[in-house]
Chain A
Amino acid sequence: MYAAALARRYLFARWIHLVGILGIAVGVLALVVVLSVMNGFIQETRRMARGSLADIIVTPRPREGERIGPYADYEKVLRSTPGVAGCAPRFLHVALISVGRSTNFMRTSAALGARNAAQLIGLDPEAEAGVTNLAVALSNPPLDRTQGDSRVADPAHPFAPPLDVLSPEDREAPPRAVVVGEQLYRNLRLHRGQTIDLATATWTASGNRVRPINRHFAVAGTFRTGEYEYDLSTILLPREVLAREFLEGEEDFSEIVVRLEDPSRGAEVVREIERRLAAAELPGTFVEDGLGGRSEFLYVETWEERKRILLGAIDNEKRIMAVILFFIVIVAAFLLFALLSTTVKEKTRDIGILMALGAARGGILGVFLALGLTITLLGEALGLAGGLAVALNLPAIEQWLKHHLGLEIFRADIYIFDRLPCEVDVTGVVLILAFTLTAGFLASLIPAWIASRKHPVVSLRYE
């Protein structure tokens, strides 16, 4: 076909066509970059949430007066369930933190938004290995080194007393050690070896009074999952310490994190675990029968279910951004439409000439359709190249902007992450390109059709 050859000549004959290419490129670039960031958010959230939670969380819910445990009974059932790769017990509690400074410091820092409360997670480091990413969180280099390298001395034994930094008198009889989330550590201006008080409460034996419990701990170091909120609110300690010191050994766990052999089969394994635990008639695993609905007492959920609001929010944001950004492409398509319409007008005489030389309507249609598609494809190629270049170098670009222009694009204290995540989504990119191509095709079709309907003689006489 001569259409493509002529379209190529027309493309470079009018510089204004470059505007069309740029318009489409900008749309594609914005889409690729923003959707990569949103996708990065989603992927990073999944990775983190999954890292600290494992694939499935089993939370027995005891009825009034019932006590859950011992863990070994539950572990036996879980380990025998097909698809389960491993599990670990955890104990969850909350505590107020006192850093042994003046009450004035506490009040001011609270007024400034510092957290003086934390979620306590009691866990077994050996059991966590291969189930959660605890080891990774413990060895992640700290983001901010102004307070020195705050990591624990030995990630394999995070709760070993930090003998290297303890005061001589503490070294004699070292207090029990805790590991603090990095953001919390920074927020409270802690340092390794410092002793802190954790205060919590329990019911009296009679069951009608709250009794405070206060214990002394040494900060062994920090961990960083990368989930800002989690790192700001969590203190880890050995499970048996938490059970013994704060709950007087009544129960030995509150939830079980489970690693699956195949994470995509989560829903299936959840049902199987529910069934088996209920059949074992362990405390807190009673499943309402009858309608076959989910348990009223036993909560077995995948980490995605537990984080569904967060994941759903980001996913929803991604959709909204996509819709907004697709409008850029649509505007670019309108631009292309306008450009091609003026080109068709300018080339009216050429259209008459081509028709006089025997071009059929389809041929004329082809010339301008090819022109529009060439502009679209060049714009897509440019936008894709630019978008990928930006997306793949986003952290560097963000840093550059921060250092050279003082533009802080990403603020870790607002988002759940400490770094701007970015991950190119191949399906998304393919969708963007297909959508843009369709928009470009439709925008070219009308001017091309108008060109093909022109009367040969009227076109030839066109001045």
Chain B
Amino acid sequence: MSEPPLLEVRDLRKSYRVGGREIEVLRGIDLALARGEMAALLGASGAGKSTLLHCLGLLDVPSAGSVRLRGVDASSLSFAQRARTRNREIGFVFQFYHLIPELDALENTLLPRWIGPGAGPRRSSWEERDRAGALLGRLGLGDRLLHRPAQLSGGERQRVAIARALFAEPEIVLCDEPTGNLDSRTGSEIVDLLLALNRESGKTFVIATHNPELARRCPRRVRIEDGKILDGARVGGDPGPGHAG
């Protein structure tokens, strides 16, 4: 028997009720992601990319269908268990950065560890702070560690958000339009960064984007149209390096 895919959705549906009318945004999504894959999630604005990412990241509960992480159905988990799973296994990068304005770059990066069990701001060791500093340094923010989000540029904020998503070493990183608010040069830098991170760490990336450069450079592209995966579950061939088949 083959190992189950890292993340798998089957016949996933999501609908919203607005003013008494049912709006079906996702109408039966089937998707499997292997370890180390890097997939671009494409589709028109309003197609449901963010909605799908939220379901993949166990932030939202689908109306029907299943989301399985390592073969475990997310709907069988309690809110607290899903929270713990998000903390350990999933990193989010949001289109609008979503940093905590009262914390500096270093603290924002450390936040997932603070939230995690047994840790806390007092007990985040010097070793951990060094590690967070080094990670921010790698992302080119070595001299911005003590800047608050308001004291950072958009690109810098996005890089802090990426550092935060990566710091707790999650298996899966979900990015929602990571280059959406950046100029093309900064956007390219972020794309380079994400690709490099995927190559080095073997983490699984799903990146919702309108950025054609980013889409082109991703090994795998998934397009949503009309609430379904249009291009088939596997466009762009090669599963990532972590996938043993």
- Whether B103 is near chain A, meaning CB under 8 Å from some CB there, is yes
B80 touches A5 (CB 8 A): no
B87 touches A5 (CB 8 A): no
How many angstroms between the C-alpha atoms of A360 and B116 in the bound complex? Answer: 10
Known: A9-B102, A357-B86, A357-B115. A1 touches B57 (CB 8 A): no
Q: Per a CB cutoff under 8 Å, which of A2, A359, A363 touches B121?
A: A2
Tell me the B90-110 residues at the A interface (CB within 8 Å). 92, 94, 98-103
User: Closest Cβ of chain A: how far from B26's Cβ, in Å?
Assistant: 13
B115 touches A361 (CB 8 A): no
Interface string of B2-13 (1 = CB under 8 A from A): 000000000000
Tell me the B113-135 residues at the A interface (CB within 8 Å). 114-116, 120-122
Known: A5-B120, A356-B92. A10 touches B102 (CB 8 A): yes
User: Closest Cβ of chain A: how far from B135's Cβ, in Å?
Assistant: 16
How many angstroms between the C-alpha atoms of A356 and B108 in the bound complex? Answer: 13
Give chain B's interface residue range (CB within 8 Å of chain A).
20 to 34
Q: Of the listed stretches A131-139, A346-354, A420-428, A439-447, name the one at the interface; the rest are far from the partner chain.
A: A346-354
B115 touches A354 (CB 8 A): yes
Tell me the A1-58 residues at the B interface (CB within 8 Å). 1-2, 5-6, 9-10, 13
B79 touches A2 (CB 8 A): no
B86 touches A356 (CB 8 A): yes
How many angstroms between the C-alpha atoms of A358 and B59 in the bound complex? Answer: 9
- Whether B160 is near chain A, meaning CB under 8 Å from some CB there, is no
- Whether B73 is near chain A, meaning CB under 8 Å from some CB there, is no
Please, which residues of chain A bring their CB within 8 A of the CB of B115? 2, 354, 357-359, 363
Please, which residues of chain A bring their CB within 8 A of the CB of B122? 5
B112 touches A358 (CB 8 A): yes
B83 touches A353 (CB 8 A): no
Please, which residues of chain B bring their CB within 8 A of the CB of A352? 98
Q: In the complex, how many residue pairs between chain A and chain B have their CB atoms under 8 Å apart?
A: 76
B98 touches A460 (CB 8 A): yes
B111 touches A456 (CB 8 A): no
Of B57, B79, B80, B102, most buried by chain A (CB within 10 Å of CB) is B102
Of A1, A6, A358, A359, most buried by chain B (CB within 10 Å of CB) is A358
- Whether B88 is near chain A, meaning CB under 8 Å from some CB there, is yes
Of A1, A349, A357, most buried by chain B (CB within 10 Å of CB) is A357
User: Closest Cβ of chain A: how far from B52's Cβ, in Å?
Assistant: 12
B114 touches A2 (CB 8 A): yes
- Whether B54 is near chain A, meaning CB under 8 Å from some CB there, is yes
User: Closest Cβ of chain A: how far from B242's Cβ, in Å?
Assistant: 23
B79 touches A361 (CB 8 A): yes
A5 touches B59 (CB 8 A): no
Please, which residues of chain B bring their CB within 8 A of the CB of A353? 94, 98-100
Please, which residues of chain A bring their CB within 8 A of the CB of B226? none
Interface string of A380-394 (1 = CB under 8 A from B): 000000000000000
- Whether B60 is near chain A, meaning CB under 8 Å from some CB there, is yes
Q: Per a CB cutoff under 8 Å, which of A13, A356, A361, A363 touches B101?
A: A13
Please, which residues of chain A bring their CB within 8 A of the CB of B94? 353, 356, 460
B60 touches A358 (CB 8 A): no
- Whether A298 is near chain B, meaning CB under 8 Å from some CB there, is no
Closest A residue by C-beta to B98: A353
Interface string of B158-177 (1 = CB under 8 A from A): 00000010000000000000
Closest 6 CB pairs of A and B: A358-B87, A9-B102, A2-B114, A5-B121, A358-B86, A360-B83
- List 30 A-B residue pairs with CB atoms under 8 Å apart, sorted by A's residue number: A2-B114, A2-B121, A5-B120, A9-B102, A9-B103, A13-B101, A13-B102, A350-B101, A352-B98, A353-B98, A354-B100, A355-B59, A355-B83, A356-B59, A356-B98, A357-B87, A357-B92, A357-B164, A358-B83, A358-B84, A358-B86, A358-B87, A358-B112, A359-B115, A360-B80, A360-B83, A361-B80, A456-B54, A457-B59, A460-B59
